[in-house]
């Protein structure tokens, strides 16, 4: 499943090829994605110049003067840029064509989404889809104090809270286990029982882990152009995730695995309290 780092790397990979280009055609081969691809997508988007490619949570936002195209990769979606004609495969559902360049959306499981938000419909940030998202992890206005105050209102286990996308988005299952290990916090610890100082460490850990994953993906940026579309995904060197029964890299204690809300959690029983 593409997580926030993969989506950010996708953004970095496609943006240079799209910004400043005018959409000349939109081909939808399958409307049956999540929410349904709007029937008037082509009519709304054609003739519009892409002014920016942004990301909010796991949504990619292609801004144009008339509105914003909203793309979500779902469970198995990917995007790549084509600079010459290429016969679409069975899962290549949408092409956003800018004359000699095309952005191709590929999604075997079809949990992804391609939507359009017209500017006249109001602020994009007010869209229910985006409004309920937690803070962006790298938003400088998200301070340790604010993170602490938000966690004080949550009584569930910290791992579960992080996965909920509140108070901060983008901390998927792997990143939650890895961040908690770095911060030395046990995944079952109640969110409202974590001190300000440890919340500060956790926020730093989340940022470092996500940043590390994005940087790892940086080496694959050119793979977004004229590629098979299989790249753009990368393996972090995990400290705990997937390492049950192996010695902790910090203290040698064997890493444990447990289930938390149907998800696998990995932790070091000695390093995490």
Smallest separation, CB 271 to Zn ion (Å) = 3
Select the span of 31-39, 77-85, 221-229, 247-255 touching Zn ion (CB under 5 A). 247-255
Select the span of 76-84, 91-99, 169-177, 252-260 touching Zn ion (CB under 5 A). 252-260
The residue number whose beta carbon is nearest to Zn ion equals: 248
Does 268 interact with Zn ion (rule: CB under 5 A)? Answer: yes
8 is catalytic: no
Smallest separation, CB 250 to Zn ion (Å) = 5
Does 248 interact with Zn ion (rule: CB under 5 A)? Answer: yes
Q: Which is nearer to Zn ion, 193 or 246 (CB)?
A: 246
Smallest separation, CB 253 to Zn ion (Å) = 5
Cβ–Cβ under 8 Å, residues 62 and 98 = no
Distance CA 4, CA 150 (A): 21
65 is catalytic: no
Cβ–Cβ under 8 Å, residues 122 and 129 = no
Cβ–Cβ under 8 Å, residues 226 and 191 = no
Does 251 interact with Zn ion (rule: CB under 5 A)? Answer: yes
Smallest separation, CB 257 to Zn ion (Å) = 14
CA torsion sign for 73, 90, 33, 80 is positive
Cβ–Cβ under 8 Å, residues 25 and 82 = no
- SS3 call for 117: strand
Select the span of 133-141, 144-152, 211-219, 263-271 touching Zn ion (CB under 5 A). 263-271
Q: Which is nearer to Zn ion, 228 or 270 (CB)?
A: 270
Here the contacts of 234-239 (C-beta below 8 Å, separation 24 or greater) are: 234/6, 234/9, 236/174, 236/178, 236/209, 236/212, 238/174, 238/177, 238/178, 238/266, 239/178, 239/181, 239/182
Cβ–Cβ under 8 Å, residues 265 and 178 = no
Secondary element (H or E) of residue 92: strand 92-98
Question: Contact letters (x/-) for Zn ion, 14-43, by CB under 5 A?
Answer: ------------------------------
Does 240 interact with Zn ion (rule: CB under 5 A)? Answer: no
Torsion angle (degrees, nearest 10) of CA 40, 45, 46, 48: 160
Q: Pick out residues in 65-104 that bind Zn ion (CB under 5 A).
A: none
Does 180 interact with Zn ion (rule: CB under 5 A)? Answer: no
By rule CB under 5 A, what count of residues binds Zn ion? 7
DSSP string, 192-229: GGS-HHHHHHHHHHHHHHHHHHHHHHHTTGGGGBSS-S
246 is catalytic: no
Q: Which is nearer to Zn ion, 22 or 253 (CB)?
A: 253
Q: Which of 22, 143, 228, 270 binds Zn ion (CB under 5 A)?
A: 270
Q: Which is nearer to Zn ion, 185 or 271 (CB)?
A: 271
34 is catalytic: no
Cβ–Cβ contacts within 10 Å for residue 235, how many?
9
The residue ranges that bind Zn ion (CB under 5 A) are 248, 250-251, 253, 268, 270-271
Q: Which residues are catalytic?
A: 2-3, 58, 263
């Amino acid at each position: 499943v593409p997580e926030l780092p993969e989506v950010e790397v996708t953004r970095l990979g496609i943006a240079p090829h799209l910004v400043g280009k005018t959409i000349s055609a939109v081909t939808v081969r399958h409307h049956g994605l999540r929410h349904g691809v709007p029937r008037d997508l082509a009519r709304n988007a054609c003739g519009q110049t892409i002014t920016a490619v942004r990301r909010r949570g796991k949504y990619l936002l292609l801004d144009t003067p008339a509105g914003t195209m909203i793309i979500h990769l779902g469970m198995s979606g990917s995007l790549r840029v084509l600079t010459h004609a290429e016969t679409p495969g069975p899962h290549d559902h949408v092409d956003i064509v800018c004359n000699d360049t095309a952005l191709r959306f590929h999604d075997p499981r079809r949990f992804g989404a391609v939507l359009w938000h017209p500017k006249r419909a109001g602020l994009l940030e007010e869209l229910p889809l985006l409004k309920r998202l937690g803070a962006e992890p790298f938003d400088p206005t998200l301070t340790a104090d604010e993170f602490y105050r938000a966690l004080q209102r949550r009584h569930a286990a910290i791992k579960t809270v992080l996965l909920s996308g509140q108070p901060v988005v983008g901390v998927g299952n792997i990143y939650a286990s890895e961040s908690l290990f770095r911060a030395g916090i046990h995944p079952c610890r109640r969110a409202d029982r974590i001190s300000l100082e440890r919340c500060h460490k956790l926020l730093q850990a989340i940022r470092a882990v996500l940043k590390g994953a994005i940087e790892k993906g940086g080496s694959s940026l050119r793979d977004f152009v004229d590629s098979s579309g299989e790249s753009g995904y990368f393996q972090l060197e995990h400290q705990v995730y997937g390492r049950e029964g192996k010695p902790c890299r910090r203290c040698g204690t064997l890493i444990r695995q447990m289930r938390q809300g149907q998800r696998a959690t990995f932790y070091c029983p000695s390093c995490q309290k």
